[in-house]
Amino acid sequence: MDIINAFPGYEFVDGKNIYRGTDVGKGGYVYAEPGMYGNIALLDVASMHPHSAINLNAFGEYTQHFKDLVDARIAIKRKDFDKARKMFGGKLAPYLDDETTAKNLTQALKIAINSVYGLTSANFDNPFRDIRNKNNIIALRGALFMRTLQDEVQKRGFKVAHIKTDSIKIPDATPEIIEFVMDFGRQYGYEFEHEATYDRMCLVNDAVYIAKYDNGEWTATGTQFQIPYVFKKLFSKEKILFGYNKDDCLKASEVLKDGFGQCNTKSILLMALLRALKIPCRIHGFTIDKKLQKGSMTGLVYKLAPKEIFHTYVEVYFNNRWYDLEGVILDDKYLNSLQKIIKPNTDGSFVGYGVATKNFLNPTIYFECCNTYIQNEGIIKDYGIFDNPDEIFKEYGQKMNFLKKLSYKYIGRKVMNKNVKKIRNKI
314, part of any domain: yes
CB of 159 closer than 8 Å to CB of 33: yes
**163 lies in the same domain as 244:** no
220, part of any domain: no
pLDDT at 1: 47
CB of 260 closer than 8 Å to CB of 334: no
**66 lies in the same domain as 169:** yes
**204 lies in the same domain as 264:** no
pLDDT in tens, 102-119: 999 999 998 988 888 888
**391 lies in the same domain as 337:** yes
225, part of any domain: no
pLDDT at 133: 67
Edge to edge, what strands does the sheet with 192-203 contain? Answer: 30-32, 162-164, 167-170, 35-45, 192-203, 209-213, 218-221
**202 lies in the same domain as 254:** no
pLDDT at 379: 96
233, part of any domain: no
**278 lies in the same domain as 392:** yes
CB of 195 closer than 8 Å to CB of 64: no
- End position of a domain, from candidates 177, 196, 213: 213
Torsion angle of C-alpha atoms 131, 137, 139, 141, degrees rounded to 10: -150
- End position of a domain, from candidates 178, 213, 248: 213
Is the overall model pTM greater than 0.75, yes or no? no
282, part of any domain: yes
The CATH number covering residue 24 comes to 3.90.1600.10
Q: Which residues of 347-363 are buried (b: 16+ CB within 10 A; e: fewer)?
A: eeebbbbbbbbeebeeb
**274 lies in the same domain as 395:** yes
5, part of any domain: no
**326 lies in the same domain as 269:** yes
**208 lies in the same domain as 242:** no
Task: Indicate the length of the chain as a whole number.
Answer: 427
pLDDT averaged over 10-residue windows placed end to end, the chain, 427 residues:
76 90 91 92 94 88 91 91 92 90 91 86 81 78 96 97 97 97 96 94 87 83 64 59 91 84 93 84 96 93 91 93 94 94 95 96 91 96 95 89 84 93 87
User: What residues form DSSP beta bridges with 32?
Assistant: 162
Cα separation, 290 vs 302, in Å, equals 8
* DSSP state at residue 231: I
The range of the structural domain enclosing residue 251 comes to 238-424
306, part of any domain: yes
pLDDT at 226: 61
228, part of any domain: no
- The alpha carbon of 252 is separated from its chain's Cα centroid by a whole number of angstroms, namely 22
CB count within 10 Å of CB 387 equals: 12
**54 lies in the same domain as 195:** yes
**195 lies in the same domain as 257:** no
**204 lies in the same domain as 343:** no
> What's the domain count of the chain?
2
DSSP string covering 243-290, please? ---S-SS--HHHHHHHTEE-HHHHHHHHHHHHHHTT--EEEEEEEEEG
pLDDT in tens, 241-268: 999 999 998 888 788 788 899 999 999 9
Q: Which residues in 319-378 belong to E strands, given as ranges?
A: 321-325, 350-352, 355-357
- The alpha carbon of 14 is separated from its chain's Cα centroid by a whole number of angstroms, namely 37
